[in-house]
């Protein structure tokens, strides 16, 4: 590969929850393996690049999310890139619009329909807090992040969940008889997740998984500093017990003592 092109899709609309960091992380980790990398931050006022290798869509508020979906539909660049083998990672609002439906200001809207998932809002609960999900695709690797969304997402038969929720809500729906909520989705080269953090900052193996879809097997690198962060987050969140709000309380108590 001559140069890896990472496209941050509409950061001015889908960049509200810090997910823009995912692009930097992919760049850093592939550069460390000797690849030439370019990040294209493609604002909504410019035409979306067609020849990207990895497309990243982050979280955004309801109205900007709807605008992003409309622009993506009009542009067609994302679906044509996908047909040429591009990898797409959607987070939160960016994940929802990849599916068949999503909710904007209380109304069900049609999504881009790139994957067989649908998002609706049956309960008024907003899912806000630390989340941990175990990922079978990543050999049981624990994904850690922070979720902040209001809808629930249903996975169709053609797709697989990215993980199974241990703490938090994730998709807030259950997959094929599992007792846990599922989290995120994988379908061919499309990956969706509710995790912020940003998700690739707190989960380097997941970052490499995304890169390897494009670059093939990657040699391992020194992740000591990131592993220390993972250990801290995982132990604080896993050791917090019971209901989410109670869990938060204990979590902050434990960290407060560390300071």
Partner 1 sequence: MSLRVKIASAAGEMASIASRSLKIGNGDAIGGRTALFIDGDILKVLGRNVKTVLVSGTNGKTTTNRIVYEVISKNLDSKCAYNSNGANMEAGIAYSLINSKNATYGTFEVDELYFEKIGYELNPTAVVLTNLSRDQLDRSNEVRRIAASWERFFGRNSELCVVANCQDPLIVYSLRKSKNVTWVNPGFSWYLDAKSCLICNSQIIFSNDEWACSGCDFKMPNAQIKVANKVIEIDGIKQVEVDLQIPGRCNVGNFAFSLGLAVMLGIDIEKAKDAAEGVSDVAGRYEVFSMDEVEFKFRLLLAKNPAGWQEALSMVEDSSMPVVVALNAQVADGKDPSWIYDVSFEELKNRHVICCGQRARDMGVRLYYAGLAHEVVHDFSLALKSKRLHEEVAKVAEKTGLKLSDVTVDIIANYTSFQAFRTLLGKSVSLNGK
Q: Which residues are catalytic?
A: 92, 196
Site string for partner 1, 179-208 (x = CB under 8 A): -----------------xxx--xx------
Q: Are 172 and 150 in contact (CB under 8 A)?
A: no
148 contacts partner 1 (rule: CB under 8 A): yes
Q: Is 107 in the site for partner 1 (CB under 8 A)?
A: no
198: preceding bond cis by omega (within 30 degrees): yes
Query: Does the protein bind partner 1 through residue 41 (CB under 8 A)?
Result: no
How many residues of this chain bind partner 1 (CB under 8 A)?
44
Identify the residue among 40, 108, 218, 229 touching partner 1 (CB under 8 A).
229
**72 contacts 37 by C-beta, under 8 angstroms:** no
Nearby residues of 177 by Cβ (< 8 Å), 6 or more positions away: none
Which range of residues in 13-21, 174-182, 211-219, 239-247 is near partner 1 by CB under 8 A? 13-21
> What's the Cα-to-Cα distance from 27 to each of 34, 66, 78, 204, 247, rounded to whole Å?
11, 28, 20, 12, 34
Contact call for residue 128 and partner 1 (CB under 8 A): yes
By beta-carbon proximity to partner 1, the closer residue of 83 and 225 is 225
Interface with partner 1, residue 150, by CB under 8 A: yes
Distance of CA 13 to the CA centre of its chain: 16
Binding partner 1 (rule: CB under 8 A), the pick from 51, 126, 221, 235 is: 126
- Which residue in the set 24, 73, 109, 116 belongs to the binding site for partner 1 (CB under 8 A)? 24
* Sheet with 190-193: strands ordered across: 37-42, 4-9, 54-57, 87-91, 190-193, 185-187
Single out the residue of 141, 146, 194, 206 in contact with partner 1 (rule: CB under 8 A): 146
Told to check if 248 binds partner 1 by CB under 8 A, we report yes
Closest CA to 13 of 78, 53, 59: 59
CB of 133 to partner 1, least distance (A): 16
> In the bound complex, what is the minimum distance in angstroms from residue 54's beta carbon to partner 1?
16
Q: How far apart are CA 64 and CA 51, in angstroms?
A: 24
Asked if 226 interacts with partner 1 (CB under 8 A), we say: yes
The CA-to-CA distance between both ends of the chain, in Å, stands at 46
- Rounded (10°) CA dihedral 241, 246, 247, 251: -120
Under the rule (CB under 8 A), what is the footprint of partner 1? Answer: 11-13, 15-21, 24-25, 28, 44-45, 61-64, 66-67, 126, 128-130, 146, 148, 150, 196-198, 201-202, 225-226, 228-229, 232, 248, 252, 255-256, 258-259
């Amino acid at each position: 590969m001559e140069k890896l092109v990472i496209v941050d899709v509409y950061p001015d609309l889908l960049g509200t929850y810090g997910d823009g960091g995912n692009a930097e992380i992919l760049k850093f980790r592939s550069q460390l393996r000797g690849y030439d990398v370019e990040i294209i931050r493609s604002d909504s006022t410019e035409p979306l690049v067609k020849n990207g290798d990895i497309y990243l869509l982050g979280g955004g508020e309801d109205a900007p999310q709807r605008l992003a979906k409309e622009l993506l539909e009009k542009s067609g660049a994302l679906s044509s890139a996908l047909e040429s083998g591009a990898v797409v990672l959607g987070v939160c609002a960016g994940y929802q619009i990849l599916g068949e439906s999503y909710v904007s200001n209380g109304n069900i809207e049609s999504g881009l329909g790139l994957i067989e998932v649908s998002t609706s809002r049956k309960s008024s609960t907003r899912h806000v807090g630390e989340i941990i999900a175990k990922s079978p695709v990543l050999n049981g690797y624990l994904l850690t992040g922070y979720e902040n969304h209001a809808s629930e997402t249903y996975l169709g038969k053609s797709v697989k969940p990215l993980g199974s929720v241990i703490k938090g809500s994730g998709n807030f729906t259950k997959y094929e008889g599992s007792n846990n909520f599922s989290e995120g989705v994988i379908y061919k080269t499309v990956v969706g997740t509710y995790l912020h953090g940003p998700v690739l900052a707190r989960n380097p193996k997941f970052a490499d998984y995304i890169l390897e879809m494009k670059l093939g097997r990657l040699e391992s690198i020194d992740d000591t500093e990131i592993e220390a962060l993972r250990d801290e987050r995982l132990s604080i969140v896993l050791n917090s017990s019971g209901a989410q709000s109670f869990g938060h309380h204990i979590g902050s108590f434990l960290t407060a003592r560390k300071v």
